[in-house]
A and B are shown apart, each in its own frame.
Chain A
């Protein structure tokens, strides 16, 4: 092996560098891990200031030809501190690398094709390691692991139903109606993160009252990824970092890199977790008396209540529905290894999670194979394949207008009505509502099943390489293809399906979505080192993305017998939706690095897309940045307290496409008693629509103290979004409800602060601590259409309002102090005042304890769950008196008395403090393993972990983190009888062999 390596190194340099004049020689040696003394394969050895480099082999050995002495050799490896060694002539050198405690030596991916050392980066790029992602406690979905891990992100779980459904907002509101979810890139593949409606609105009629938004509570497709496969996640939070991604980058870019094989013998990693989930918080039931029953349900209900009470037959239906402990099991097996030419990582994982409601759950199986092959020294191929099967049973929750969802009908379920099935399994009708919650829970099906394949391939060619310059060609392609089948089955036995109760006699809703995205890109990267130690890195590239989705939703009602096939239905309807988009772009970027002292970058991206009104128009997005490592100028630096000090500033622009269809004004197709007809869809398109343009400026200081044992970063950013894509209401007398236009500007500015510290770092005791804080303010700085309400249930109950000079996420409503001109008054804002997270990791001998607290202060919700229970007289706090300022009226009556008068009681503070993650592990000592397993096993780890174990909030419902309208736009935090969120308890076993 040594021979071939030597040969190829020599071949490369002798053939590529024919003209060598200076003293030349070979340095060879061995690289080891400082703590264990084990050889370190795959470490990089580079002659500083040149493109000349190599990597250590399986045994940690390296050999490098140095063209000119004296030289500085730089030894680095991911996860280890970089070391520089001066060599004056050919020699043998043994080097040991220390494990990095600081993360400062890691590289971050900032360009499409290149990466940069964190110490040289001009942006506050958040990076989440595998350890941070799954090390404390494995999250149910990848996005669920991002809470509190870095500043600038507001993560919201839309529902507690198993299988995900989260939205992420990076640095405030970036778009009002356009996409506000970040772009996800997995190993170079643009992956889809849609939430596709499953059509249960046909039964719930949630959108019948004028709210056309998606209230079907679907999962988001990011849930398909296996968190255990991930090596690292990087988050580019805004245009200043993400400009190179152009028109899709406005909401930020999340770059996910999966684990890859490492040279060495095959290593197996097996982990098994098992545990359960339970509801975070149940509301309880109202403690009824004869009087309150009579007030709420009329005198006729009193004897029913008395009979039930006297026979001990008062039921807690909330407990009945949400009181389950759902079983969780996660199994994961991965292996990795390789030779100097080929390495691989493969994994199999299976998750099975039950919800806190019977018949809900989530199951996922994921297979992955990542292969790297280096047939020649100048060619490298990478390939990754990921197959995912997932199936989620979502239950039937959220808003409705038909009294059918479990959530809404639970609010009208009285404790003295017996809804349990008789001995034949026949459920009684709910006498006080249109559905029996227990029957609905047991008989309906609301399932989403996904089969997904994500393939990525890359090829790197060293086209040219010399002492001072090199040219590299990188080609990349990716494919993300999945089918999503949804089944909503509402059998005719259901109370609300009974034709005598006005039902449809059974409904079957079957949806099929085929989604195919693929992207191709090619880049050229040129590196040049000047004699004075300046590195110029130039890159240029072309990218192309294709998106194609086709959804068929078939709805059948009046089912024959107990058939569920659509052809067994008396009435069927079909709805097909196609979405296609093609984007093409190019970019150029120049990076100048003055000996790690000053790093300058400038770049330009150009994009065209079929989604713009004019598909041929190119939109340009420039960027520029500056990082100055002051410690390399003698401000602090080696030997002082201030071990690192960096000033950085970055500017960039990015875009956000109009959503598909917004450039057209179209008819919808309907029928009237068999006669087809086309009627206006209500939305007026604009054929001149263009993308939104975001301009972000970010600046900050990074510093390290006491040999970088304490590291902190302070960032200020200001970003504006111009040509805001809006869908303001039109005067309804135009015949349209709304129109798409570019009209307005939005500004976000905020502050982010992170601090990390290795407080103790001894052999036996280590204590690592980090904290992050951020705050963001948004303002609509310009609005070229009249102010409009959007995104909730109208001003009576509290709604968002887009208004010049106000926050983009303000909540307004009718009220006693309303502005006479609008009839509205401001009651709150859904954006938090600030968010703080504290993370601690303690290691004592073989024990590890990790815990993460997250505190969100401020941010309001519109809580309509309480209102619905009030209207039905069932609120747990109906008779308690703590809302009425006069201290006279019970809470239920108080809220009701405000209905139609003021939206104030429905807008509630959604602050919370949570113990997001807790992990406690025991590493079985090596000595014991050695004796017991005779070298067959390398490590065993046992532990316990939990998610959301402590939740403190003063919010009058299950959880302040909720969104009835899913991840739609920026308007989260509207609550209507959701699936309550849950806490997780898990036990772990992890074995390496």
Chain B
């Protein structure tokens, strides 16, 4: 008995000692941690971090383009599982835009996610001074690349909130800058682009990372700078700084040869079906049902000039489709498969920016640029009035068809203060019981997301 007790006491002691061990502390077993990169950045690390920007700059784009195109009455987005595309976005009956619904929160958050991804890399780069793994030029080129993307992402968000503005200063997540007005935001974005252009200028011959095929022709600091200048020209146009537009276009990749190939030259987002990748969010198969389909707003077809080849961007459905009292006969078919690239900026827009910038000062040059676009679309040269208002009308119309579904129509018509010219598809009417259903509304802007606590 006594020996038993001794043995048991011994077991208890051993057991107790084992028990009193401290517990193991685990790192994140599933994902790389942000802090892991702060010290020595390798070339492989930088490639992965840049890859993050390539990825996140495409996230949420489907919602962004749907927002701009639906509010701008380019196409309808039917979704039987989400009615808000046809209620809120079109202002159906009494519905309004909500400040905490996916149509604003998803794209808004995704764009700032890219900005944060880029800012994290900028911070890491700042900590690499004296690194012998990168040349000063490579670091400069990387900064220019990142700043160009930051500016692009901020501009897309500003397109949604417009006069409500955006936050410009977001590098310090614990101390966010204030919301600034549209004017201030545009100036800030242009500054970021200018700074990026400077850095790209000093960035030597090559980026220290690989890019996708969407960058073909723009994968060096010098050529990517032409994209940066093109984006700056877009911003200048939004600022109505037309002199600036023209000088920026001169430094961009604008090419006036008028061939279809050159019109499509530009920077693209690319997609693949790899499960860790994204597919083109704007592709639906032809004749999709109302479970999920984009249907061209009928006026896009009926208001087109005869013979406009740009109508190939829509495709006739086997049967017309009706959903939520909206009917269309043609599918939006700008993207014909799930891996179709999606343009960030391309030459056709630059030419139209040149036309727009010249309307005031050099109408002849403006008409020449418009004609270049018209002829590439299979249309005769412009024969209308050449007063400023008529030319603006023509320019907006060409932008409507040339840049259909690419996120411009609503933005353009808004900056010319012509939102009231957009069609109202569902007018005031009575339901079967005699109650009034209000007409649709055309929105000026999306509200700032609720979670910004403004």
Q: Is B42 an interface residue (CB 8 A)?
A: no
A899 contacts across to B, CB distance below 8 A: 83-84, 87, 95
A475 contacts across to B, CB distance below 8 A: 11, 15
Inter-subunit contact B51/A868 (CB<8 Å): no
Inter-subunit contact A675/B16 (CB<8 Å): no
Q: Is B270 an interface residue (CB 8 A)?
A: yes
Known: A677-B54, A823-B450. A209 touches B82 (CB 8 A): yes
Inter-subunit contact A736/B173 (CB<8 Å): yes
Known: A403-B289, A735-B113. A670 touches B119 (CB 8 A): no
Which of these, A210, A430, A673, A735, contacts B271 with CB under 8 Å? Answer: A673
Q: Is B330 an interface residue (CB 8 A)?
A: no
Chain A positions 655-693 with a Cβ under 8 Å from a chain B Cβ: 661, 664-682, 684
Which of these, B92, B319, B450, contacts A900 with CB under 8 Å? Answer: B92
Stretch at the interface among B209-217, B300-308, B346-354, B396-404: B209-217
Inter-subunit contact B80/A610 (CB<8 Å): no
Stretch at the interface among A37-45, A596-604, A724-732: A724-732
B12 contacts across to A, CB distance below 8 A: 473, 522, 524
Inter-subunit contact A669/B32 (CB<8 Å): yes
- Bound Cα distance from A667 to B56, whole angstroms: 11
- Per-position 1/0 for B380-406, Cβ under 8 A of A: 000000000000000000000000000
Which of these, B28, B35, B51, contacts A661 with CB under 8 Å? Answer: B28
- Per-position 1/0 for B281-325, Cβ under 8 A of A: 001110011111000000000000000000000000001101010
B290 contacts across to A, CB distance below 8 A: 412, 432-433
Chain B positions 251-282 with a Cβ under 8 Å from a chain A Cβ: 270-278
Inter-subunit contact A584/B21 (CB<8 Å): yes
Known: A572-B275, A583-B23, A671-B276. A731 touches B80 (CB 8 A): no
Nearest-neighbor residue (CB-CB) of A668 within chain B: B31
| Range of interface residues on B (Cβ < 8 Å) | 35 or more
Inter-subunit contact A735/B22 (CB<8 Å): no
Inter-subunit contact B5/A520 (CB<8 Å): no
- Bound Cα distance from A475 to B12, whole angstroms: 9
Inter-subunit contact B34/A501 (CB<8 Å): no
Known: A666-B33, A730-B173. A673 touches B212 (CB 8 A): yes
Q: Is B39 an interface residue (CB 8 A)?
A: no
Q: Is A580 an interface residue (CB 8 A)?
A: yes
Q: Which of B21, B47, B113, B212 has the most CB of A within 10 A?
A: B113
Stretch at the interface among A694-702, A786-794, A843-851: A786-794
- Per-position 1/0 for A709-745, Cβ under 8 A of B: 0000000000000000000011111111100000000
- Bound Cα distance from A461 to B12, whole angstroms: 11
- Bound Cα distance from A867 to B81, whole angstroms: 9
Stretch at the interface among B135-143, B357-365, B428-436: B428-436
Whole-angstrom distance from the CB of A407 to the nearest CB of chain B?
10
Nearest-neighbor residue (CB-CB) of A569 within chain B: B275
A788 contacts across to B, CB distance below 8 A: 451
Inter-subunit contact B32/A615 (CB<8 Å): no
Known: A400-B81, A433-B80, A871-B83. A794 touches B212 (CB 8 A): no
Inter-subunit contact A670/B52 (CB<8 Å): yes
A6 contacts across to B, CB distance below 8 A: none
Q: Is A15 an interface residue (CB 8 A)?
A: yes
A822 contacts across to B, CB distance below 8 A: 450
Inter-subunit contact B94/A888 (CB<8 Å): no
Q: Is B414 an interface residue (CB 8 A)?
A: no
Which of these, A432, A434, A609, contacts B292 with CB under 8 Å? Answer: A434
Q: Is B198 an interface residue (CB 8 A)?
A: no
Inter-subunit contact B176/A731 (CB<8 Å): yes
Chain A positions 525-552 with a Cβ under 8 Å from a chain B Cβ: 542-544
Nearest-neighbor residue (CB-CB) of B28 within chain A: A664
B106 contacts across to A, CB distance below 8 A: 209-210
Q: Is B449 an interface residue (CB 8 A)?
A: yes
- Bound Cα distance from A504 to B274, whole angstroms: 12
Q: Is A992 an interface residue (CB 8 A)?
A: no
- Bound Cα distance from A852 to B88, whole angstroms: 47
Known: A402-B291, A615-B24, A615-B25. A729 touches B55 (CB 8 A): no
B100 contacts across to A, CB distance below 8 A: 789, 794-795, 799
Q: Is A55 an interface residue (CB 8 A)?
A: no
Inter-subunit contact B116/A735 (CB<8 Å): yes
- Bound Cα distance from A516 to B230, whole angstroms: 57
Whole-angstrom distance from the CB of A388 to the nearest CB of chain B?
27
- Bound Cα distance from A969 to B22, whole angstroms: 30
Known: A872-B80, A900-B84. A434 touches B289 (CB 8 A): yes
A561 contacts across to B, CB distance below 8 A: none
- Bound Cα distance from A673 to B50, whole angstroms: 13
B1 contacts across to A, CB distance below 8 A: 15-16
Inter-subunit contact B8/A463 (CB<8 Å): yes
- Bound Cα distance from A665 to B36, whole angstroms: 10
Q: Is A300 an interface residue (CB 8 A)?
A: yes
Inter-subunit contact A888/B113 (CB<8 Å): no
Q: Is B437 an interface residue (CB 8 A)?
A: yes
Whole-angstrom distance from the CB of A520 to the nearest CB of chain B?
7
Chain B positions 429-454 with a Cβ under 8 Å from a chain A Cβ: 431-435, 437, 449-453
Q: Is B115 an interface residue (CB 8 A)?
A: yes
Q: Is A295 an interface residue (CB 8 A)?
A: yes
Which of these, B5, B52, B271, B291, contacts A680 with CB under 8 Å? Answer: B52
A799 contacts across to B, CB distance below 8 A: 100
Known: A673-B272, A730-B173, A736-B173. A403 touches B31 (CB 8 A): no
- Bound Cα distance from A399 to B327, whole angstroms: 26
Inter-subunit contact B113/A679 (CB<8 Å): yes
Chain B positions 14-49 with a Cβ under 8 Å from a chain A Cβ: 15-16, 18-35, 47-49
- Bound Cα distance from A991 to B427, whole angstroms: 74
B27 contacts across to A, CB distance below 8 A: 664
Inter-subunit contact A735/B119 (CB<8 Å): yes
Inter-subunit contact A901/B26 (CB<8 Å): no
Q: Is B412 an interface residue (CB 8 A)?
A: no
A576 contacts across to B, CB distance below 8 A: 30
Known: A673-B213, A680-B56. A664 touches B88 (CB 8 A): no
Chain B positions 330-351 with a Cβ under 8 Å from a chain A Cβ: 338
Inter-subunit contact A669/B23 (CB<8 Å): no
Stretch at the interface among A109-117, A365-373, A889-897: A889-897
Whole-angstrom distance from the CB of B214 to the nearest CB of chain A?
7
Inter-subunit contact B19/A665 (CB<8 Å): no
Whole-angstrom distance from the CB of A785 to the nearest CB of chain B?
10
- Per-position 1/0 for B92-106, Cβ under 8 A of A: 111110111110011
Which of these, B15, B29, B285, contacts A580 with CB under 8 Å? Answer: B29
Nearest-neighbor residue (CB-CB) of B94 within chain A: A901
Whole-angstrom distance from the CB of B327 to the nearest CB of chain A?
7
Q: Is A565 an interface residue (CB 8 A)?
A: no
Which of these, A520, A583, A735, contacts B115 with CB under 8 Å? Answer: A735
Which of these, A399, A665, A730, A897, contacts B93 with CB under 8 Å? Answer: A897
Q: Which of A664, A679, A822 has the most CB of B within 10 A?
A: A679
- Bound Cα distance from A899 to B87, whole angstroms: 7
Which of these, B55, B59, B109, B434, contacts A671 with CB under 8 Å? Answer: B55
A291 contacts across to B, CB distance below 8 A: 432
Inter-subunit contact B291/A615 (CB<8 Å): no
B34 contacts across to A, CB distance below 8 A: 665-667, 680
The 3 lowest CB-CB distance pairs between A and B, nearest first, are A735-B116, A677-B51, A573-B275
Could you list 14 A-B pairs, sorted by A, with CB under 8 Å?
Answer: A430-B289, A500-B285, A502-B285, A542-B15, A664-B28, A665-B35, A666-B34, A673-B271, A677-B54, A680-B113, A734-B116, A734-B170, A786-B453, A796-B84
8 more A-B residue pairs beyond the given contacts A210-B106, A680-B52, A732-B452, with a C-beta to C-beta distance below 8 A:
A300-B322, A401-B81, A475-B15, A501-B288, A732-B105, A734-B173, A794-B98, A893-B433
Which residues does B use to contact A, with CB under 8 Å?
1, 4-5, 8-9, 11-12, 15-16, 18-35, 47-56, 58-59, 79-84, 87-88, 92-96, 98-102, 105-106, 108-109, 112-113, 115-117, 119-120, 166-167, 170, 173, 176, 210-214, 270-278, 283-285, 288-292, 319-320, 322, 324, 327, 338, 431-435, 437, 449-453
